[in-house]
Amino acid sequence: MDNFITFSINDQVMGLEMLSVERILKLLNISPIPNSPEYLEGVIDVQNMLIPAINLKKRFNYTSSAVLPDSHVIVISNENERCSIIVDAVDDIVQISDHEIVKTKSNRYIYGVAKINDTIINLLNPNALVFD
């Protein structure tokens, strides 16, 4: 059984394995980077580290992609890199076992879905999402 942080974007619930989450912050000042991909809002300064900030709504091509004033930033890390994703709200930490996950191969960013308390949670692949 693994722990997942759940959050929402455009009223959809997403989940990330806690092992990939380094920290959760309120929205910080984002410095834009000229000529970068549209989904890359810019960089944020976290304890003197510049970390790219990805707008998940733009990454997923949602029509409503505005960053809200009460948005949060989730800093994700793998062995070599850090990146952050901008989300509308951070919801909860839930435990999901492997047998509760329905695997999907139709989307490279979402590796599966789970249903917890009548809520469908899209489980994100952080490596494909921010480190590809």
Domains and CATH numbers, the chain: 2-130 (2.40.50.180)
Instruction: Say how many C-beta atoms besides its own lie within 10 A of residue 21's C-beta.
Output: 19
Q: DSSP code of 60?
A: T
> What pLDDT was estimated at residue 129?
78
> What is this structure's pTM?
0.91
Q: How far is CA 109 from the centre of its chain?
A: 10
In the block, tokens 């980077």 appear at: 33
CA distance 132 to 127: 6
Q: What stretches in the chain show pLDDT beneath 70?
A: 131-132
CA distance 106 to 65: 23
- Classify 126 in phi/psi space as left (phi over 0), alpha (psi -120 to 50) or beta: alpha
